[in-house]
């Protein structure tokens, strides 16, 4: 869980592109976060943005676990 929270927090602070080394190295955690609705690649119009960003649900999850205030 700690690694999952660390990846989610990193994405919150600095969204990563799909093909970044960070995304490749943390693919299992990113896949899990996306499946839980904590990360998305869609912008506000529903178009693929090419980067992973934390959703409102992901932000609440980080707050619940004390990673952000």
Q: What is the pLDDT of residues 13-69, one digit of tens each?
A: 999 999 999 999 999 999 999 999 999 999 989 999 999 999 999 999 999 999 887
Q: Is residue 12 part of a domain?
A: yes
Whether the pLDDT of residue 1 is over 90: the answer is no
How far apart are alpha carbons 67 and 69 in whole angstroms?
A: 7
Domain assignment present for 56: yes
* Alpha carbons 45 and 38: distance in angstroms, whole number: 18
Alpha-carbon distance of 25 to 47, in angstroms, equals 25
The C-alpha atoms of residue 45 and residue 24 are separated, in whole angstroms, by 26
The total number of structural domains in the chain stands at 1
- pTM of the entire predicted model: 0.89
First CA to last CA across the chain, in angstroms? 19
26 is in which domain, residue-wise?
Answer: 2-64
């Amino acid at each position: 869980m700690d690694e999952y929270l660390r990846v989610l927090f990193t994405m919150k602070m600095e969204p990563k592109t799909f093909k970044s080394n960070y995304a490749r190295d943390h693919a299992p955690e990113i896949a899990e976060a996306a499946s839980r609705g904590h990360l998305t690649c869609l912008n506000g119009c529903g178009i693929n943005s090419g980067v992973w960003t934390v959703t409102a649900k992901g932000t609440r999850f980080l707050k619940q676990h004390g990673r952000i205030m």
